[in-house]
């Protein structure tokens, strides 16, 4: 029972970066975040997926910002 709850909680927390990734056209990174959160939910309970989701959210936003800046045509 606890194993199933761990998977469910990890999946619920992992939906946050997945949905953000889909909204910002970073779906592949969002999917990796979801899978990572599910595995961490199984291994560590609730704290692991929360920390991982926060890190992936930051990574998705940074990746989106870099892609957006690169498509503006500005040479650096």
- Encoded tokens for 4: 């199933």
> What is the domain partition of the chain in residue ranges?
2-70
pLDDT digits (tens, 9 = 90+) for 6-44: 889 999 999 999 999 999 999 999 999 999 999 999 998
CA-based nearest residue to 61, from 36, 25, 37, 32:
25
Cα atoms in the 13 Å half-sphere on the side-chain side of 21 = 23
Across the range 48-62, mean pLDDT stands at 95
The Cα 31–Cα 40 span in angstroms is 14
**Residue 44: in which H helix or E strand, if any?**
helix 27-44
The Cα 36–Cα 61 span in angstroms is 18
Whether this model's pTM surpasses 0.75: yes
């Amino acid at each position: 029972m606890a194993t199933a709850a761990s998977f469910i909680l990890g999946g619920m927390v992992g939906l946050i970066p997945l949905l953000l990734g889909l909204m910002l056209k970073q779906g592949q990174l969002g999917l990796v975040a979801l899978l990572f959160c599910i595995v961490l939910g199984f291994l560590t309970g609730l704290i692991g997926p929360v920390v991982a989701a926060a890190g992936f959210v930051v990574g998705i936003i940074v990746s989106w910002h870099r892609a957006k800046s690169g498509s503006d045509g500005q040479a650096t």
